């Protein structure tokens, strides 16, 4: 099964260390393979280092794709995390 979503970063500092840690902890709690795309760069959503290379800032759109048995649940949880502004505001 595959699920996908496009989310917009709304937290003031975008994807810095704390939000990336939260994102990767959530992705690693799911069985699905998860990738994140910003522009023309796609990275492994389960890797802190890969996620940092996106240099995603407030207002940037990210496409999240999950492939696996829990893909829809993973996408729903990740969408909620991003929409919550990672609890920063």
Instruction: Dump pLDDT digits (tens) for 38-77.
Output: 999 999 999 999 999 999 999 999 999 999 999 999 999 9
Yes or no: say if 21 and 61 are a contact pair by the CB < 8 Å rule: no
CATH number at residue 37: 3.30.1340.10
Contact 86, 22 (CB under 8 A): yes
Report the predicted TM-score, pTM, of the whole model to 2 decimal places.
0.95
Q: Which domain holds residue 33?
A: 2-87
- Burial of residue 37 (number of CB atoms within 10 Å: 0-12, 13-18, 19+): middle
Strand order in 41-44's β-sheet?
2-8, 61-67, 33-38, 41-44
The residues assigned a catalytic role are: 16
Percent of the chain with pLDDT over 90: 98
Backbone angles phi, psi at 37, to 5 degrees: -120, 135
Number of domains present in the structure of the chain: 1
């Amino acid at each position: 099964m595959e699920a996908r979503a496009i989310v917009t970063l709304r937290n003031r500092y975008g994807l810095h260390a704390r939000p990336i840690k939260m994102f990767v902890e959530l992705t690693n709690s799911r069985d699905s393979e998860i990738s994140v795309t910003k522009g023309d760069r796609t990275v492994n959503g389960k890797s802190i280092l890969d996620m940092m290379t996106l240099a995603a800032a407030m207002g940037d759109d990210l496409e999240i794709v999950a492939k696996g048995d829990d893909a829809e649940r993973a996408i729903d949880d990740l969408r909620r995390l991003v929409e919550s502004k990672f609890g920063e505001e």
